[in-house]
Amino acid sequence: MEMLSGAEMVIRSLQDEGVKHIFGYPGGSVLDIYDALFQCSDIEHFLVRHEQAAVHMADGYTRATGKVGCVLVTSGPGATNCITGIATAYMDSIPMVVLSGQVPTNFIGDDAFQETDMIGVSRPVVKHSFLCKKAEDIPIAIKKAFYLAASGRPGPVVVDLPKDVQNPKLKFPYQYPEAVHMRSYNPTLSGHKGQIKRAVKALMAAKRPVLYVGGGAINANASADVIHLAEQCNLPVATTLMGLGAFPGTHKQSIGMLGMHGTYEANMSMHNADLIFAVGARFDDRVTNAVDKFCPNATIMHIDIDPTSISKIINADIPIVGSIEVVLGQMQTMIAEMDALKEQEDLSAWWQLINTWRERECLVYEKSDTVIKPQQVIEALYKVTKGDAIVTSDVGQHQMFGALYYPFKKPRQWINSGGLGTMGFGFPAAMGCKVALPDEEVVCITGDGSIQMNIQELSTCMQYNIPVKIVSLNNRSLGMVKQWQKMFYEGRQSHSYMDSVPDFVKLAEAYHHVGIRVDKPEDLEPALEKAFAMKDRLVFLDIAVDPEEHVYPMQVKFGSMQDMFLSKTERT
């Protein structure tokens, strides 16, 4: 058997796992691993400028492709800097493996230099974690880490590697396990047949059904199954912020995003439905509004791979635990077996009602000749990219404008931090997408607040020539915070100003990128055209937008799903 050191085992295990790209930052506790990496030509490493960005890059890489992203960092601050990134991935169920260095085993617990209990610190935000106390444990720990990260409800897994375990002088027999079995971990994949039958019957009997699709449908690669079921049964489809693209936003049955900033038609349909069929969604508080007023007349059907998501917030009348892809396949078989479609209720009255809600045109906004509206930027972006770009987003108003005004055609096209709401996510995530899919157009929608939370990565993009496009909606303030302060705090703008936004054009240029400032509405499209014509350059578009604009619709706090502000002056 081949003899390898612990450090070599780490790199060889990654190779055997098929890892091609890794994102990280070296330091004392991982020097041996970095030395082994230096001698390996199969894995491309990207040196970030802050470990948080490495995790977001791996996250974007994963979300764009479904391949498990991988991070390598040192102990102590290297590890703790990863936590926000790991928590971001955890909240959105993104598979990822984070390898962190650790002080030598005989130093653990002594408050050694750059020591942090990474297993302890990361525990609430990982799916699982491993501390390798012997070099021989490394291959199986890495195998299990990748298996756990990607299977069941996906999530991040940490592997903590003490320095002595990596010792390049001590060699051990190496064999990468082909398969892994864990007696305590057996995710349920196929749904209960009796429940599926009940679900089919309920679906056919529904007069006002809504298909409510979340990010789980994207994680499970079940978009085609969702589309098939929706078309077959002529169901209106509402998607969550995480589910955008799982069902094409351009499809005639799409009623758009639902929830706090959902469309009028999506929220009205949900509230008035008699059946809600949740697919890989988790009834997040940004969807339900007040739980006790949630969809009063609806039967709730819920497919989820994670039993804890079912009946956690909203009681499910027909729960089905299983992989969405498998369960929707089982439903198809059942529909055919029962010849169920001929029993289906006529939905034309329901569609008529939905169409009256659509006529409200909740996304129409007032245009201006003098000032650029943020919505207008997203519409122009959609036009210029022909709706084909991979769009990542930071967190705030620009994120909601992106979600509402750029209809996503396919899954893995819209990449944002939905659960944790991490400002600073969008730019490194875009970099990860571009590394994974260099032929795709990748654009990060951001704002002057969010972009500054990981702006140092302009340097990484310079080093590796990662030509993403940055579309920054610059409103000289923390727009979403300001919107809430205007609406709920009598306009007291406590610390929501950015009095000293830098010259982003010069900043981009300092890193040898292209910066373009856009002030006038008529310059918007030409500037975007120009930026996207520069295929091989990172272009930072600093777009001055109306700072007074709010995101609408917006649900009224403590109300039901149908209680919404539709503009500064109208509410339902």
Partner 1 sequence: MRSILSILIENEAGALSRVVGLFSQRGYNIESLTVAVTDDPTLSRMTITTHADERKIEQILKQLHKLVDVLKVSELTDGPHVERELMLVKVKASGTKRDEVKRNADIFRGQIVDVTQSQYTVQLSGTTDKLDAFIAALGEATEIIEVVRSGVCGIARGERSLRP
- Smallest distance, partner 1 to C-beta of residue 119, A: 6
Cα–Cα distance between 146 and 158 in angstroms, integer? 10
- Smallest distance, partner 1 to C-beta of residue 87, A: 12
The residues, any chain, with a CB within 8 Å of residue 291's CB and separated by 6 or more, are 285, 313, 314
- Smallest distance, partner 1 to C-beta of residue 125, A: 10
Residue matched to tokens 């590394």: 435
Pick the binder of partner 1 from 45, 63, 127, 358 (CB under 8 A).
127
Show the site string, 289-308: x = touches partner 1 by CB under 8 A, - = not.
-----------------xxx
Q: Indicate the SS3 state at residue 143.
A: helix
Q: CA 206 → CA 8, 45, 67, 239, distances in Å?
A: 59, 52, 38, 19
- Smallest distance, partner 1 to C-beta of residue 54, A: 24
Type of residue found at 312: K
Q: Which is nearer to partner 1, 130 or 357 (CB)?
A: 130
- Smallest distance, partner 1 to C-beta of residue 571, A: 33
What crossing angle do the helices spanning 324-338 and 193-205 adopt, rounded to 10°?
70
Q: Which is nearer to partner 1, 157 or 391 (CB)?
A: 157
CB of 521 closer than 8 Å to CB of 369: yes
Which helix (H) or strand (E) element contains residue 140? helix 138-150
- Smallest distance, partner 1 to C-beta of residue 77, A: 22
If binding is defined by CB under 8 A, does position 549 make contact with partner 1?
Answer: no
Show the site string, 251-290: x = touches partner 1 by CB under 8 A, - = not.
----------------------------------------
Q: Which is nearer to partner 1, 308 or 368 (CB)?
A: 308
Q: Which stretch binds partner 1 (CB under 8 A): 2-10, 108-116, 118-126, 328-336?
A: 118-126
Tokens of 466: 């990662």
CB of 104 closer than 8 Å to CB of 162: yes
If binding is defined by CB under 8 A, does position 18 make contact with partner 1?
Answer: no
Q: Which is nearer to partner 1, 138 or 436 (CB)?
A: 138
If binding is defined by CB under 8 A, does position 128 make contact with partner 1?
Answer: yes
If binding is defined by CB under 8 A, does position 367 make contact with partner 1?
Answer: no
Q: 128, 125, 312, 152: which is closest to 220 by C-alpha?
A: 152
Q: Which is nearer to partner 1, 312 or 537 (CB)?
A: 312
Q: Which stretch binds partner 1 (CB under 8 A): 101-109, 117-125, 274-282, 338-346?
A: 117-125
Q: Which stretch binds partner 1 (CB under 8 A): 123-131, 257-265, 266-274, 468-476?
A: 123-131
Which positions from 180 through 209 interact with partner 1, judged by CB under 8 A?
182-185
HEC-encoded secondary structure of 151-217: CCCCCEEEEEEEHHHHCCCCCEECCCCCCCCCCCCCCCCCCCHHHHHHHHHHHHHCCCEEEEECHHH
What crossing angle do the helices spanning 51-65 and 426-436 adopt, rounded to 10°?
50
HSE-CB for 533 with a 13 A CA cutoff:
6
If binding is defined by CB under 8 A, does position 565 make contact with partner 1?
Answer: no
Cα–Cα distance between 311 and 313 in angstroms, integer? 6
If binding is defined by CB under 8 A, does position 164 make contact with partner 1?
Answer: no
Q: Which is nearer to partner 1, 130 or 365 (CB)?
A: 130
Q: Which is nearer to partner 1, 306 or 457 (CB)?
A: 306
If binding is defined by CB under 8 A, does position 500 make contact with partner 1?
Answer: no
Active site residues: 51, 113-114, 163, 480
How many residues lie near partner 1 (CB under 8 A)?
Answer: 18
Pick the binder of partner 1 from 131, 206, 266, 404 (CB under 8 A).
131
Cα–Cα distance between 402 and 417 in angstroms, integer? 13
Show the site string, 35-74: x = touches partner 1 by CB under 8 A, - = not.
----------------------------------------
- Smallest distance, partner 1 to C-beta of residue 552, A: 34
Q: CA 236 → CA 261, 336, 400, 442, distances in Å?
A: 18, 21, 21, 30
Pick the binder of partner 1 from 47, 109, 123, 558 (CB under 8 A).
123
Residue matched to tokens 């027999």: 173
If binding is defined by CB under 8 A, does position 3 make contact with partner 1?
Answer: no
If binding is defined by CB under 8 A, does position 497 make contact with partner 1?
Answer: no
Pick the binder of partner 1 from 228, 293, 312, 410 (CB under 8 A).
312
Backbone angles phi, psi at 215, to 5 degrees: -60, -20
What is the secondary structure of 69-81 as a DSSP string?
EEEEE-STHHHHT
In the chain the first and final C-alpha atoms are separated, in Å, by: 71
If binding is defined by CB under 8 A, does position 104 make contact with partner 1?
Answer: no
For residue 567, how many other CB atoms are within 10 A of its CB? 14
> CA 257: distance to chain centroid?
15
If binding is defined by CB under 8 A, does position 109 make contact with partner 1?
Answer: no
Q: Which is nearer to partner 1, 89 or 445 (CB)?
A: 89
Q: Which is nearer to partner 1, 41 or 184 (CB)?
A: 184
- Smallest distance, partner 1 to C-beta of residue 97, A: 14
Cα–Cα distance between 86 and 125 in angstroms, integer? 7
If binding is defined by CB under 8 A, does position 352 make contact with partner 1?
Answer: no
If binding is defined by CB under 8 A, does position 20 make contact with partner 1?
Answer: no
- Smallest distance, partner 1 to C-beta of residue 10, A: 20
Q: Indicate the SS3 state at residue 314.
A: coil
Q: Which is nearer to partner 1, 132 or 430 (CB)?
A: 132
Which helix (H) or strand (E) element contains residue 540? strand 539-544
HEC-encoded secondary structure of 473-526: EECCECHHHHHHHHHHCCCCCCCCECCCCCCHHHHHHHCCCEEEEECCHHHHHH
The footprint of partner 1 (CB under 8 A) covers 119-120, 123-124, 127-129, 131, 148, 182-185, 306-308, 311-312
